[in-house]
């Protein structure tokens, strides 16, 4: 156990366990390996934590299997729901600590973690707590008998979580996995693991049986690879980059064909039609590329504006999105936190350099600020094939272009290898329905951007992945369906001649 003192937030001091969370105990890595986590805003060291290796993953799997054979197997669905409700209550109690740890470790604005990430996690926990005793099968009529289906847990499952909204996305995976009756191994992001140490303490306090939830900090090429290749892990849920998603699919194919769900990259189009409420469109499109420095898979990084309003829109968009106060994400006046790491910082700047060398027009930004900060940046008149229009930057860089017709902009929006999220701005309901149906993404928002709800599924198509987090659909990702058939014939002579 170590104590982290957070300066700038009333000098708060939070105790944080340094060990791996296996079988309801905090333990060192078997090899003694560790990882260090730093504050991306200052570069200051925050904590040294245990780093899981293959042997630690084996130990976590053994604990999960033991739980599935004993206490967890006999825990009723209402009992699982009660545990999720208890965890939600503890989140509400310790919301300040959870938000502060995420902000200082991941560079997320404290206001965003406080008012979005933690409340959304609580909402999801409560939503799936309500589902725990409602995961039912179907009664089916078949010739000469009857059948029914059972929706059963998959078994030992795993989740690998990204660094851009780690607390919220972890709960997107934990809540349905637990509601369905699985045992879960979580690998948090190595760049910001502190929230997960607090989560582990709350799982223990909530009364989860040993082995049901195991949390293993570690590096992707060590702990993550061991999870992906483990023969006894039956399901893996991953949120992160498309290249890593490909590696995880290969690992599944090369080992035990574990079920894999992937929520990957995005290059979200935001489309502003001439009849839109321009003030509303400006608010959401600005937020869509500047929130969390654009380090969001659903970021509205491609902005298409109708030619009749293009010049006025671009001028006002530039004025609004250029405004930012960068600094400590814990301070209330800060509107721009740091980029998560120096590597990500360099990657974003390389894309900005690419944009500057193209025929696109730089509206504002394009600069590296002090430390791990990048100014909000926007380019206008961006070509369809320009790199900054085609590739995911994962930074605060907007690519803006004009369009003339509805069919033209639908084609532009769909001209992408990604298909995660899109936004449409129009006051024409018929147009909204037409365009939403035509756009090839897993989510479309109308007159807003990036809104999230526990009861609405989230996920992508094309190279943005497959499978869904949240909504009732997520329960399908964490269960398997078994059919049971009863033969009610009176004699063997009545049996059908065609059978397996």
pLDDT band at 251 (very low <50, low <70, confident <90, very high): very high
Tell me, what CATH number does 349's domain have? Answer: 3.40.309.10
Mean pLDDT of all residues in 351-375: 95
Q: Same structural domain for residues 257 and 273?
A: no
Catalytic residue (choose from 102, 297, 392, 477): 297
Catalytic residue (choose from 97, 263, 392, 477): 263
Task: For residue 375, count other CB atoms closer than 10 A to its CB.
Answer: 17
Higher pLDDT, 494 or 111: 111
Rounded Cα distance between 322 and 328, Å, is: 18
Q: Is residue 492 part of a domain?
A: no
Catalytic-residue membership of 157: no
- Cα dihedral value 388, 390, 393, 398, nearest 10: 50
Q: Is 90 exceeded by the pLDDT of residue 329?
A: yes
The DSSP H or E segment spanning 21 is strand 20-22
pLDDT band at 160 (very low <50, low <70, confident <90, very high): very high
Range of the domain at 187: 2-264+464-482
Q: Same structural domain for residues 370 and 305?
A: yes
Rounded Cα distance between 418 and 465, Å, is: 8
The reported pLDDT for the residue numbered 12 is 74
Q: Same structural domain for residues 8 and 148?
A: yes
Q: Same structural domain for residues 8 and 73?
A: yes
Q: Is residue 54 part of a domain?
A: yes
Q: Same structural domain for residues 283 and 194?
A: no
Residue 329 CA: distances (Å) to CA of 109, 332, 343, 373: 4, 8, 20, 12
Q: Give 395-441 pLDDT, tens digit per residue.
A: 999 999 999 999 999 999 999 999 999 999 999 999 999 999 999 99
Q: Is residue 500 part of a domain?
A: no
Tell me, what CATH number does 148's domain have? Answer: 3.40.605.10
Task: Count the residues in the chain.
Answer: 500
Q: Same structural domain for residues 254 and 293?
A: no
Q: Same structural domain for residues 298 and 375?
A: yes
Q: Is residue 310 part of a domain?
A: yes
Mean pLDDT of all residues in 94-122: 97
Rounded Cα distance between 300 and 306, Å, is: 16
Q: Is residue 396 part of a domain?
A: yes
Q: 131 CB contacts (<8 Å, ≥6 apart)?
A: 81, 176, 179, 472, 475
Q: Is 70 exceeded by the pLDDT of residue 2?
A: no
Q: Same structural domain for residues 42 and 190?
A: yes
The reported pLDDT for the residue numbered 15 is 85
Q: Is residue 494 part of a domain?
A: no
Considering its fold, how many domains does the chain have in total? Answer: 2
Distance of CA 68 to the CA centre of its chain: 26
The reported pLDDT for the residue numbered 228 is 98
Task: Using alpha carbons, select from 412, 391, 392 the residue that is nearest to residue 402.
Answer: 412
The reported pLDDT for the residue numbered 216 is 98
Rounded Cα distance between 66 and 75, Å, is: 14
Q: Same structural domain for residues 275 and 257?
A: no
Q: Same structural domain for residues 433 and 472?
A: no
Q: Is 60 exceeded by the pLDDT of residue 121?
A: yes
pTM: 0.95
* φ and ψ of 225, to 5 deg: -65, -40
Burial code (b: 16+ CB inside 10 Å, e: under 16) for 74-107 equals ebebeebbbbbbbbbebbeebbbbbbbbbbbbbb
Q: Is 80 exceeded by the pLDDT of residue 5?
A: no
Q: Same structural domain for residues 256 and 290?
A: no
Catalytic-residue membership of 297: yes
Q: Same structural domain for residues 164 and 297?
A: no
The reported pLDDT for the residue numbered 488 is 85
Q: Give 473-493 pLDDT, tens digit per residue.
A: 999 999 999 999 998 865 555
Q: Is residue 420 part of a domain?
A: yes
Q: Is residue 488 part of a domain?
A: no
Burial of 422 (0-12, 13-18, 19+ CB in 10 A): buried
Q: 11 CB contacts (<8 Å, ≥6 apart)?
A: 5
């Amino acid at each position: 156990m170590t104590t982290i003192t957070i300066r700038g937030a009333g000098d708060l001091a939070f105790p944080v366990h340094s060990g791996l969370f296996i079988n309801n105990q905090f333990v060192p890595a078997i090899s003694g390996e560790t990882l260090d986590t730093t504050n991306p805003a200052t570069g200051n060291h925050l904590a040294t934590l245990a780093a899981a290796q293959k042997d630690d993953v084996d130990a976590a799997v053994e604990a999960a299997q033991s739980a599935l054979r004993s206490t967890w197997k006999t825990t009723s669905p209402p009992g699982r729901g009660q545990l999720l409700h208890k965890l939600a209550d503890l989140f509400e109690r310790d919301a300040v600590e959870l938000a502060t740890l995420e902000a200082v470790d991941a560079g997320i604005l404290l206001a965003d973690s406080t008012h979005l990430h933690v409340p959304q996690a609580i909402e999801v926990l409560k939503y799936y707590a309500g589902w725990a005793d409602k995961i039912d099968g179907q009664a089916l009529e078949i010739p000469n008998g009857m059948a029914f289906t059972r929706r059963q847990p998959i078994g030992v499952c795993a989740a690998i979580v990204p660094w851009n909204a780690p607390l919220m996305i972890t709960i997107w995976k934990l809540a349905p996995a637990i509601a369905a009756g699985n045992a879960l191994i979580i690998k948090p992001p190595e760049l910001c693991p502190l929230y997960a140490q607090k989560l582990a303490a709350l799982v223990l306090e909530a009364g989860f049986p040993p082995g049901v939830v195991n949390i293993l900090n570690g590096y992707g090429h060590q702990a993550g690879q061991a999870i992906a290749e483990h023969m006894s892990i039956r399901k893996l849920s991953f949120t992160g980059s498309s290249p890593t998603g490909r590696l995880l699919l290969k690992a599944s194919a090369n080992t035990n064909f574990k079920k894999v769900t992937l929520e990957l990259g995005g290059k979200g189009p935001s489309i502003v039609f001439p009849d839109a409420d321009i003030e509303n469109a400006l608010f959401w499109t600005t937020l869509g590329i500047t929130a969390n420095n654009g380090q969001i898979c659903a970021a509205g990084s491609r902005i298409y504006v109708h030619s009749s309003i293009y010049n006025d829109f671009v001028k006002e968009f530039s004025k609004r999105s250029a405004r930012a106060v960068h600094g400590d994400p814990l301070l209330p006046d800060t509107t721009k936190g740091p980029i998560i790491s120096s590597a990500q910082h360099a990657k974003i700047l390389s894309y900005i350099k690419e944009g500057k060398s193209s025929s696109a027009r730089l509206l504002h930004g394009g600069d590296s600020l002090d430390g791990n900060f990048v100014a909000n940046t926007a380019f206008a008149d961006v070509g369809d094939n320009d790199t900054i229009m085609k590739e995911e930057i994962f930074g605060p860089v907007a690519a803006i272009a004009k369009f003339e017709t509805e069919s033209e902009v639908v084609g532009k929006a769909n001209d992408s290898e990604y298909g995660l999220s899109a936004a449409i701005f129009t006051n024409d309901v018929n147009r909204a329905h037409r365009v939403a149906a035509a756009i090839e993404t897993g989510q479309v928002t109308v007159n807003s951007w990036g809104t999230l709800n526990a009861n609405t599924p989230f996920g992508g198509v094309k190279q943005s992945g497959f499978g869904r987090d949240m909504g009732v659909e997520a329960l399908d990702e964490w269960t398997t369906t078994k059919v049971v058939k009863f033969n009610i014939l009176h004699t063997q002579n009545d049996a059908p001649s065609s059978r397996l």
